[in-house]
């Protein structure tokens, strides 16, 4: 998987992470909550089962009592019949002893049956018939007894033999039997239903218990997983911690973290060493103690605010400052600050580098350049000086040839001087050490001076200089000396490349918020192969033709650097055989009543784009 | 004809010679040279030049220090002192003029123009 694809996948996973965590948490909560719920359900099922058993046993009890009662009622009738038979056959009054009592019992028992049959519509429905049969039977028995008692034994026996009594008893027995059967069946059915319900309940209970066990296992697994995940996270955290600490601790640059109030929360050993403190001495301190001249709290706050709103690619810009050690010694330092979101809130990581070494090297280089320039210029002064005197006739007349030789030597010594000057200039500009005192400069005056200064030189080559009228109000923001240097250079080039008798024209035009200075010559034009390199260093060196013109090869490079540093542009148009025009565009300025007076915020190029300074410095 | 006295101070012998020759092209100049700041401080109060041309980078007592020493002498505090400097950019010139110098001449100078430049610094 390509780096970008896998990182996309990681980014997606990272974004979904909170959702996944939330989901998992919900699942866990549900699982754990389900346990008591399931246990409750199990309890409910058991209670239901118990209830079913209880009501069933009640039913059974009632059912048997009813059937017993039916049988008892039946027995009572049988007893009446037996007594009646016995008396009819033997005429023994002993058989009649319990007869009345039995008859009463029939009534009581019937009442009892009616009560019991209140919930038994099928039974209750048959009771009236039973009652009728009972009455008939008792009446029959009574009749037989009366007959016997009154001495009409024959008639009594005939009554009994008629079978009516027996038929009644049979019917009663049959009815009782039916009712008993109905009741028995009913009970059986009820039992079966109850049993089925009980089995269902039992099954449900088992199922719930199984579910409970599974839930417990699942919860157990979840707990185990959580513990494992936590352990992994701890390990990863520990690993990351160790890694970061290793980087933090072993870095050679100082690193510290401070909060949005500027209080240092942590720092690495390099910082402590750099500043001569112990690590614990700086924790909790305001970051301002690290500055020789501490910025105000407001400055720090606004700086941190700007950091927060800056785009990603601007994070970590380098700033120079002077640091102060514990013992009061100061050193030059670079710091790059970037915001970092930590658990405790918005914090800032500052990476500090002691650049006194680099500064020392830069200083050495500067000193070297100064020394060299002095050392080179001193003998050159003597050479150019003596040759100048000779050429000027201060030592008398010379033969032609000597004259020519002296002229050659003098010209070249002057060229050397210009070369050294140009070298030093361009070194200064490129290392950002050339000061640009930018103020409004009236163009008319600036160009006029340059034209004036170069008129003699131009005249010496038979070239005229013309300046088209310049609006008095036209002014640019520039360093006056540098501007003069630039215009001088362009005029000098134009003159050198103009054939004798020609004119070099200067003019000013306005374009939007810039002014354009144009220098036009009627020279041969710039050949195709040069145009790309014309602003490069020693671009002329290739053609011996141009070397004769006496240029150093650095002139246009210097012009370009200066114009750019002043916020402008340089460009040219050329036509072979017709001439060349160079344009300098510079930012327009409000002209001052008294030109050259500072406006109160004359910029210095060293204040401008820090990136440029920082870049040049590294 | 008024003769103006010009004192030229520089540690380089060749340059002193050239400067003297260049200045003497003007018939109204009497030129004297000194090889060091110390010598200049000794000579100037006695010889009373009308103009002092002072090299900046000299071993021992450098230009600015020599200048201070000269200024201390009451008989010299009106005499214009012009520095000769290999560095003639704006900030250098500003720094030197702030010291009280009458002006700065760039080195290497055009010997044929030196006399005229010197005359320009003399009071009219």
CB atoms within 10 A of CB A578: 11
A373, A382, A395: residue with CB nearest B14: A382
Give the per-residue pLDDT at A585.
Answer: 92
Flag if A381 and B87 touch (Cβ within 8 Å): no
Give the per-residue pLDDT at B51.
Answer: 95
* Torsion, CA A476, CA A481, CA A482, CA A485, rounded to 10: 110
Q: Mean per-residue pLDDT for A307-335?
A: 80
Give the per-residue pLDDT at A541.
Answer: 45
- For residue A176, the 8-state DSSP code is H
The answer to whether the Cα torsion of A497, A499, A501, A503 is positive or negative is: negative
Whether the per-residue pLDDT at A614 is higher than 60: the answer is: no
A407 part of contact set with chain B, CB < 8 Å? no
The contacts of residue A281 (CB under 8 Å, 6+ apart) are A272, A326
Give the per-residue pLDDT at B87.
Answer: 66
A606 part of contact set with chain B, CB < 8 Å? no
- For residue A296, the 8-state DSSP code is P
Q: Which two tokens stand for residue A100?
A: 């009345």
Q: Comparing A254 with A119, which gets the higher pLDDT?
A: A254
Q: Among A168, A177, A83, which residue's Cα sits nearest to residue A123?
A: A177
Whether the per-residue pLDDT at B57 is higher than 80: the answer is: yes
Q: What is the ipTM of this complex?
A: 0.81
A437 part of contact set with chain B, CB < 8 Å? yes
Split at pLDDT 50, 70, 90, the class of A474 is confident
Give the per-residue pLDDT at A374.
Answer: 76
* Residue-averaged pLDDT of chain A: 84
Whether the per-residue pLDDT at A572 is higher than 50: the answer is: yes
Whether the per-residue pLDDT at A101 is higher than 70: the answer is: yes
Split at pLDDT 50, 70, 90, the class of A14 is confident
Q: Is A431 exposed, middle or buried (0-12, 13-18, 19+ CB in 10 A)?
A: middle
Split at pLDDT 50, 70, 90, the class of A540 is low
Whether the per-residue pLDDT at A612 is higher than 80: the answer is: no
Give the per-residue pLDDT at A467.
Answer: 92
Q: Which two tokens stand for residue B45?
A: 């109060």
B12, B19, B90: residue with CB nearest A481: B90
Displacement of CA A344 from its chain's centroid (Å)? 16
pLDDT, one tens digit per residue, over A322-341 is 899 999 899 989 999 888 88
Q: Which two tokens stand for residue A18?
A: 């909170």
Q: How near does any CA of chain B get to the CA of A251, in Å?
A: 41
A373, A394, A434: residue with CB nearest B21: A394
Q: Comparing A542 with A80, which gets the higher pLDDT?
A: A80
Q: Which two tokens stand for residue A114?
A: 């009616």
Cα A521 from Cα A426, distance rounded (Å): 26
Which three-class secondary structure state does DSSP give residue B109?
Answer: coil
B12, B19, B108: residue with CB nearest A417: B108
Flag if B107 and A435 touch (Cβ within 8 Å): no
pLDDT, one tens digit per residue, over A215-274 is 889 889 988 988 998 999 899 999 988 998 888 888 899 999 999 888 999 999 999 999
The answer to whether the beta carbons of residues A581 and A491 sit under 8 Å apart is no
B12, B90, B111: residue with CB nearest A389: B111
Cα B47 from Cα B42, distance rounded (Å): 9
A260 part of contact set with chain B, CB < 8 Å? no
Split at pLDDT 50, 70, 90, the class of A615 is very low
Give the per-residue pLDDT at B78.
Answer: 87
Which three-class secondary structure state does DSSP give residue A544?
Answer: helix
Give the per-residue pLDDT at A611.
Answer: 34
Chain B residues within 8 A of A388 when measuring between CB atoms? 22, 110-112
Flag if B12 and A382 touch (Cβ within 8 Å): yes
Which chain A residue is nearest to residue B24, measuring alpha carbons? A394
Spatial strand order of the sheet with B51-55 comes to B29-34, B4-9, B51-55, B81-85, B103-106
The answer to whether the beta carbons of residues A300 and A321 sit under 8 Å apart is no
Give the per-residue pLDDT at A563.
Answer: 92
Q: How near does any CA of chain B get to the CA of A526, in Å?
A: 32
The answer to whether the beta carbons of residues A212 and A39 sit under 8 Å apart is yes
Flag if A386 and B25 touch (Cβ within 8 Å): no
Q: Which two tokens stand for residue A437?
A: 């005192």
Q: What percent of chain A is predicted at pLDDT more than 70? A: 91
Cα–Cα distances in Å, from A618 out to A318, A558, B106? 11, 22, 33
Give the per-residue pLDDT at A617.
Answer: 35
Phi, psi of A381 (to 5 degrees): -60, -45
Split at pLDDT 50, 70, 90, the class of B81 is very high
Q: What percent of chain A is predicted at pLDDT more than 90? A: 25
Split at pLDDT 50, 70, 90, the class of A316 is low
For chain B, first and last CA: distance in Å? 14
Counted residue by residue, chain B has a size of 124
Question: Which residues does residue B9 pair with via DSSP β-bridges, in sequence order?
Answer: B34, B54
Cα A301 from Cα A456, distance rounded (Å): 59
Flag if A382 and B86 touch (Cβ within 8 Å): no
A346 part of contact set with chain B, CB < 8 Å? no
Whether the per-residue pLDDT at B4 is higher than 70: the answer is: yes
Give the per-residue pLDDT at A543.
Answer: 54
Q: Among A401, A380, A417, which residue's Cα sits nearest to residue B18?
A: A380
Cα B96 from Cα B93, distance rounded (Å): 5
Our CA angle for A354, A359, A360, nearest 5°, is 110
Whether the per-residue pLDDT at B10 is higher than 90: the answer is: yes
Whether the per-residue pLDDT at B52 is higher than 90: the answer is: yes
Cα A83 from Cα A201, distance rounded (Å): 54
Q: Among A565, A574, A587, which residue's Cα sits nearest to residue A517?
A: A587
Q: Which two tokens stand for residue A565?
A: 């540093």
Q: Which two tokens stand for residue B120?
A: 């320009």
Q: Among B93, B45, B46, which residue's Cα sits nearest to residue B71?
A: B45
Split at pLDDT 50, 70, 90, the class of A599 is very low
Flag if A388 and B15 touch (Cβ within 8 Å): no
Give the per-residue pLDDT at A17.
Answer: 79
A394 part of contact set with chain B, CB < 8 Å? yes
pLDDT, one tens digit per residue, over A395-433 is 889 999 899 999 999 988 888 888 888 888 888 887 777
Give the per-residue pLDDT at A537.
Answer: 78
* Residue-averaged pLDDT of chain B: 88
Q: Mean per-residue pLDDT for B98-117?
A: 88
Give the per-residue pLDDT at B22.
Answer: 93
Q: Which two tokens stand for residue A120?
A: 């038994």
For chain A, first and last CA: distance in Å? 37
The DSSP code sequence of A396-464 is ----HHHHHHHHHHHHHHHHHHHHHHHHHHHHHHHTT-S---EEEEEHHHHHHHHHHHHHHHHHHTT-E
Stretch (H or E) spanning A264: strand A264-267
pLDDT, one tens digit per residue, over A495-504 is 988 999 999 9
Q: Which of A367, A384, A388, A406 to mutate to test the interface with B (most CBs of B within 10 A)?
A: A388
pLDDT, one tens digit per residue, over A362-371 is 778 877 877 7
Q: Mean per-residue pLDDT for B75-100?
A: 78
The contacts of residue A484 (CB under 8 Å, 6+ apart) are A446, A449, A450, A453
Give the per-residue pLDDT at A600.
Answer: 39
Q: Which two tokens stand for residue A109?
A: 């028992």
Cα A172 from Cα A187, distance rounded (Å): 22
- For residue A263, the 8-state DSSP code is B
Give the per-residue pLDDT at A304.
Answer: 83
Q: Mean per-residue pLDDT for A537-552?
A: 59
The contacts of residue A604 (CB under 8 Å, 6+ apart) are A435, A436, A437, A438
Give the per-residue pLDDT at A4.
Answer: 64
Give the per-residue pLDDT at A495.
Answer: 92
Flag if A437 and B90 touch (Cβ within 8 Å): yes
Helix and strand counts by DSSP (H, E) for chain A: 16, 12
pLDDT, one tens digit per residue, over A276-300 is 999 899 999 999 999 988 888 888 8
Flag if B22 and A385 touch (Cβ within 8 Å): yes
Whether the per-residue pLDDT at A613 is higher than 60: the answer is: no
Phi, psi of A449 (to 5 degrees): -60, -45
For residue A219, how many C-alpha atoms fall within 13 Å in the half-sphere facing its CB?
14
Burial pattern A478-493, b for ≥16 Cβ within 10 A else e, equals bbbbbbbbbbbbbbbb
Cα–Cα distances in Å, from A405 out to A7, A410, A412, B108? 75, 8, 11, 21
Q: Which of A366, A384, A389 to mutate to test the interface with B (most CBs of B within 10 A)?
A: A389
């Amino acid at each position: 998987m390509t780096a970008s694809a896998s990182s996309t996948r990681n980014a997606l996973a990272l974004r979904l992470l909170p959702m996944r965590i939330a989901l998992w948490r919900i699942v866990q909560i549900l699982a754990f909550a389900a346990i008591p719920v399931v246990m409750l359900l199990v309890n409910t099922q058991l209670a239901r089962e118990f209830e079913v058993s209880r009501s069933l046993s009640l039913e059974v009890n009632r059912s048997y009592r009813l059937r017993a009662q039916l049988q008892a009622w039946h027995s009572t009738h049988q007893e009446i019949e037996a007594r009646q038979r016995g008396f009819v056959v033997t005429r023994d009054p002993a058989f009649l002893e319990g007869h009345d009592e039995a008859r009463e019992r029939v009534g009581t028992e019937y009442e009892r049956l009616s009560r019991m049959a209140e919930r038994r519509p099928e039974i209750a429905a048959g009771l009236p018939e039973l009652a009728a049969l009972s009455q008939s039977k008792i009446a029959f028995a009574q009749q037989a007894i009366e007959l016997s008692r009154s001495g009409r034994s024959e008639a009594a026996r005939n009554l009994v033999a008629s079978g009516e009594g027996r038929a009644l008893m049979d019917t009663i027995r049959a009815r009782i039997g039916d009712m008993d059967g109905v009741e028995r069946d009913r009970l059986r059915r009820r039992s079966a239903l109850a049993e089925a319900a009980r089995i269902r309940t039992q099954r449900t209970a088992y199922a719930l218990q199984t579910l409970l066990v599974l839930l417990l296992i699942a919860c157990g697994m979840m707990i185990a997983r959580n513990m494992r995940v936590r352990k992994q996270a701890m390990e990863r955290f520990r690993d990351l911690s160790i890694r970061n600490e290793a980087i933090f601790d072993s870095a050679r640059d100082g690193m510290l973290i401070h909060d949005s109030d500027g209080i240092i929360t942590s720092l690495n050993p390099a910082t402590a060493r750099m500043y001569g403190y112990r690590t614990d001495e700086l924790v909790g301190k305001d970051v301002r103690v690290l500055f020789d001249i501490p910025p105000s709290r407001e400055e720090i706050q606004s700086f941190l605010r700007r950091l927060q709103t800056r785009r990603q690619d601007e994070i970590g810009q380098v700033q120079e400052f002077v640091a102060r050690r514990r013992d009061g010694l100061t050193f030059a330092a670079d710091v790059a600050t970037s915001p970092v979101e930590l658990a405790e809130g918005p914090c800032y990581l500052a990476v500090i580098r002691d650049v006194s070494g680099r500064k020392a090297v830069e200083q050495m280089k500067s000193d070297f350049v100064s020394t060299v320039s002095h050392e080179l210029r001193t003998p050159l002064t003597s050479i150019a000086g003596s040759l100048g005197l000779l050429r000027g006739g201060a030592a008398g007349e010379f033969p032609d040839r000597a004259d020519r030789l002296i002229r050659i030597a003098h010209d070249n010594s002057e060229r050397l001087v210009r070369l050294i000057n140009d070298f030093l200039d361009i070194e200064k500009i490129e290392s950002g050490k050339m000061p640009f005192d930018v103020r409004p400069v009236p163009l008319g005056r600036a160009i006029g001076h340059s034209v004036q200064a170069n008129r003699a030189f131009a005249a010496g080559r038979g070239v005229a200089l013309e300046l088209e009228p310049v609006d008095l109000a036209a002014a640019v923001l520039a360093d006056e000396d540098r501007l003069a240097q630039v215009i001088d250079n362009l005029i000098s080039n134009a003159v050198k490349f103009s054939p004798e008798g020609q004119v070099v024209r200067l003019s000013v035009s306005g374009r939007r918020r810039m002014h354009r200075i144009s220098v036009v010559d009627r020279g041969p034009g710039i050949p195709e192969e040069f145009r790309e390199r014309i602003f490069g260093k020693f671009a002329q060196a290739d053609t011996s033709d141009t070397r004769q013109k006496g240029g150093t090869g650095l002139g246009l490079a210097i012009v370009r650097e200066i114009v750019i540093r002043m916020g402008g542009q340089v460009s040219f148009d050329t036509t072979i055989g017709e001439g060349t025009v160079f344009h300098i565009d510079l930012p327009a300025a409000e002209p001052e009543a008294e030109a050259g007076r500072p406006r109160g915020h004359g910029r210095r190029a060293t204040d401008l784009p820090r990136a440029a300074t920082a870049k040049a410095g590294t | 004809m008024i003769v103006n006295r010009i004192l030229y101070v520089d540690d380089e012998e060749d340059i002193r010679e050239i400067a003297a020759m260049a200045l003497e092209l003007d018939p109204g100049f009497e030129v004297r040279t000194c090889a060091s700041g110390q010598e200049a401080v000794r000579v100037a109060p006695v010889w009373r030049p009308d103009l002092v041309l002072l090299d900046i980078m000299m071993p021992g007592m450098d230009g600015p220090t020599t200048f201070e020493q000269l200024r201390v002498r009451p008989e010299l505090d009106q005499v214009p002192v012009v520095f000769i400097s290999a560095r003639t950019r704006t900030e250098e010139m500003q720094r030197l003029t702030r010291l009280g110098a009458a002006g700065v001449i760039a080195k290497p100078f055009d010997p044929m123009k030196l006399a005229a430049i010197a005359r320009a610094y003399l009071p009219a």
